[in-house]
Amino acid sequence: EVQLLESGGDLVQPGGSLRLSCAASGFTFNTYAMGWVRQAPGKGLEWVSTISGSGGSTFYSDPVKGRFTISRDNSENTLYLQMNSLRDEDTAVYYCAKVRSGSFRSTFDYWGQGTLLTVSS
């Protein structure tokens, strides 16, 4: 059974940093791209970032490019999102999601339950 468990969400001041983690199990982690999708309170879904199975290719949405870094540790089956220079508008539930197929650019077939980041002074 595929399981994705996010952690690391917290209350952070504007300008601060935080790292989210996502522990994966139930599939061969290093053969699938992974991504982060966020959802601001009461709002819709917003794609944040995707990383290839090897970690050699990364993709970012414009609002987070240059501030967020996605990475993975395939020996630990863990996905990360390092978030710097946080802004109020980064407040959201952050979901870790598994990409469905071998292509980086695809749908997300499994999702974690999310972790809440609140950016506020």
- What residues make contact with another protein under the rule CB under 8 A? 35, 37, 44-47, 50, 59-62, 95, 100, 105-114
Residue located via tokens 């974690």: 112
The least distance separating another protein from the CB of residue 109, rounded to whole angstroms, comes to: 5
- Report strand pairing: 115-119 vs 58-60: unpaired
Residue located via tokens 């508008």: 89
The least distance separating another protein from the CB of residue 105, rounded to whole angstroms, comes to: 5
Nearer to another protein, 55 or 111 (CB): 111
The least distance separating another protein from the CB of residue 41, rounded to whole angstroms, comes to: 12
The least distance separating another protein from the CB of residue 25, rounded to whole angstroms, comes to: 16
| Contact (CB, 8 A) for 92 and 47 | no
Secondary structure class of 82 (helix, strand, coil): strand
Nearer to another protein, 16 or 69 (CB): 69
Quick count: other Cβ atoms within 10 Å of Cβ 100?
13
Nearer to another protein, 62 or 75 (CB): 62
> Which tokens hold the place of 62?
């414009």
